């Protein structure tokens, strides 16, 4: 990480009630919105304020996106792109977490459960030992996705690596850091995946996770399940995009509640928390969060 680079404020919560209490405090809401409101107005007027981009580790300018304007306010998570590297807010949060978590490790071994994505592209510049993968069980899809990856990374040697998060091919304790973003909700047996994340991380290794999260709910909403080999819908089917097959939708099985943190503890992680992140100089706006666990 660049010495002296501005950092976002990271706060960690192990309990749902503490997190929700913080989320409603004026120190959080009033202070954050007071900074964000004039900024979003400036963006809408066409200006592009400067900030420190934790994805490319340099100065960037914020780019306004029309789709960020929603009735409930500016939707930062999928917007707030950096004009230099294109990283949107959630990607800059992940990148900052990796840079900070890796600060004391020489040549950190990083695994991402994604490869054909802007986050993989930006992190491979900082972490030469990074391994990324996609779920591409079909060899034909894998070959097509590899061609896309070569073009995307401008690297004729790039290849898609297939991995199933419930049965990773890596030896035990292969990685220092692991990131899995918006994957777990598509895995019916997600506790198996958490066990695999634990297995492939070294002692003291850390994982950063995101998935649809009902931050006020103790329990997970099960939207669909597999019963006797058959798919059973409990809630109206919800599909998310597939990076390797354009136009394809992947079924969402879960909107997680706080029991996801308990599932991580059960998988063997010794320290599990919700990360709340916000930063003015880093342009990490909105109420961004992710789950962090240490083996
Ligand atoms: Zn950038």
Residue-wise pLDDT tens digits, 132-177: 999 999 999 999 999 999 999 999 999 999 999 999 999 999 999 9
Domain boundaries, the chain: 9-294
CA of 66 to the centre of ligand 1 (A): 19
CA of 81 to the centre of ligand 1 (A): 8
Can you tell me the distance from the alpha carbon of 92 to that of 86, in angstroms, rounded to the nearest whole number? 10
Alpha carbons within 13 A on the beta-carbon side of 286: 20
Q: What is the mean pLDDT of residues 31-44?
A: 95
Can you tell me the distance from the alpha carbon of 168 to that of 145, in angstroms, rounded to the nearest whole number? 19
Evaluate if residue 46 carries a pLDDT over 90: yes
Residue 93 in contact with residue 277, Cβ under 8 Å? yes
Q: What is the mean pLDDT of residues 37-66?
A: 95
CA of 255 to the centre of ligand 1 (A): 30
The pTM of this model reads 0.94
DSSP 220: P
CATH 3.40.50.150 matches 9-294 = yes
Interior angle at CA 99, CA 164 and CA 121, nearest 5: 55
Q: Are strands 69-70 and 58-63 parallel, antiparallel or unpaired?
A: unpaired
CA of 59 to the centre of ligand 1 (A): 7
Q: How confident is the model at residue 243 (pLDDT cuts 50, 70, 90)?
A: confident
For the sheet with 110-112, list strands across it: 9-13, 271-279, 284-294, 201-210, 175-181, 110-112, 131-132
Residue 76 in contact with residue 62, Cβ under 8 Å? no
DSSP 185: G
Q: What is the pLDDT of residues 55-84, one digit of tens each?
A: 999 999 999 999 999 988 899 999 999 999
Percentage with pLDDT > 70 across the chain: 100
> Which H or E run includes 219?
none
- Per-residue pLDDT, 2: 73
């Amino acid at each position: 990480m660049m010495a002296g680079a501005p950092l976002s404020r990271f706060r960690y919560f192990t309990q749902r009630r503490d997190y929700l209490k913080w989320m409603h405090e004026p120190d959080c809401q009033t202070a954050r919105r007071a900074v964000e409101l004039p900024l979003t107005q400036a963006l809408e007027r066409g200006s592009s304020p400067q900030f420190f981009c934790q994805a490319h580790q340099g100065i960037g300018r914020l780019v306004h996106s029309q789709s960020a304007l929603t009735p409930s306010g500016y939707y930062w998570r999928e917007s707030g792109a950096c004009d230099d590297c294109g990283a949107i807010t959630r990607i800059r949060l992940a990148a900052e977490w990796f840079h900070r978590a890796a600060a004391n490790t020489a040549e950190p071994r990083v695994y991402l459960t994604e490869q054909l994505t802007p986050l993989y592209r930006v992190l491979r510049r900082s972490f030469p030992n990074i391994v990324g993968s996609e779920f591409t069980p079909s060899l034909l899809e894998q070959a097509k996705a590899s061609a896309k990856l070569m073009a995307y990374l401008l690297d004729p040697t790039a290849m898609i690596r297939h991995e199933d998060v419930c049965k990773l091919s890596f030896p035990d304790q292969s990685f220092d850091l692991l990131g899995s973003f918006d994957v777990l909700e598509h895995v019916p047996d997600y506790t198996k995946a958490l066990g695999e994340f634990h297995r492939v991380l070294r002692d003291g290794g850390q994982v950063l996770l995101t998935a649809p999260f009902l931050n006020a709910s103790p329990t997970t909403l099960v939207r669909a399940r597999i019963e006797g080999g058959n798919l059973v819908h409990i809630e109206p089917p919800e599909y998310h995009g597939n990076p390797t097959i354009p136009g394809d939708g992947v079924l969402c099985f879960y909107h997680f509640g706080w029991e996801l943190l308990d599932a991580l503890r059960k998988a063997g992680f010794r320290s599990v928390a919700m990360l709340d992140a916000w930063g003015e100089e880093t342009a990490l706006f909105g109420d961004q969060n992710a789950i962090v666990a240490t083996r």
